[in-house]
Amino acid sequence: MWEFDPKATFREADLSGLGNHAAVVGVLGYDSFSWFCSAHKTMATQIATIIIGVLVIGLILGYGLWWVAKSADRMSQDPRFRRRVLIGGAVVYIVTGVFIIVGVAARKERVDALYGLPVGAFIAWLLLRAATKTQVPPRQ
């Protein structure tokens, strides 16, 4: 085990195998144990943050998948809900396209942003077409 000798100079200290951090500790004269504790406390905090972040993202994605499965089941049974979801999806594509066109017209976006508009317009057209072909029974 390597012991830190505060009276030893950097050249006298045996820092072999301890890495760059030990060399900094040897030059600055910090206690190696305090550096060890602070470094591992920081690593523990980072690991805990990563684990909690992954769990939260997993919970959000799980809830989203559960909601999508539930609404897909409802869409297969309720034609009004199916039409509402299809129209809502088409409106999202249309509004996004309008924002892109306004951004290019105001010179806040590059002209290259317009290249994807035909794809979005085609998807919006497909969604609106599917919504209009959905037969909804009259209300009773």
State residue 15's pLDDT score: 53
| Cα 34 from Cα 135, distance rounded (Å) | 72
Whether the per-residue pLDDT at 4 is higher than 70: the answer is no
State residue 42's pLDDT score: 75
Please answer whether residues 130 and 86 qualify as being in contact, where contact means their C-beta atoms are separated by less than 8 angstroms: yes
Q: pLDDT tens digits for 86-112? A: 999 999 999 999 999 999 999 998 999
Q: pLDDT tens digits for 23-71? A: 555 555 555 566 566 666 777 788 889 999 999 999 999 999 999 899 8
Q: Where are the domains of the chain?
A: 78-134
| Residue of 44 and 17 predicted with greater confidence | 44
Rounded to two decimals, what is the model's pTM?
A: 0.55
Whether the per-residue pLDDT at 114 is higher than 70: the answer is yes
| Cα 15 from Cα 34, distance rounded (Å) | 17
| Cα 34 from Cα 13, distance rounded (Å) | 18
Those residues with Cβ within 8 angstroms of residue 134's Cβ, 6 or more apart along the chain or in another chain: 79, 82, 83, 86
State residue 27's pLDDT score: 52
| Cα 95 from Cα 81, distance rounded (Å) | 21
Q: Closest Cα partner for 79 from 126, 128, 127, 135?
A: 135
Please answer whether residues 97 and 74 qualify as being in contact, where contact means their C-beta atoms are separated by less than 8 angstroms: no
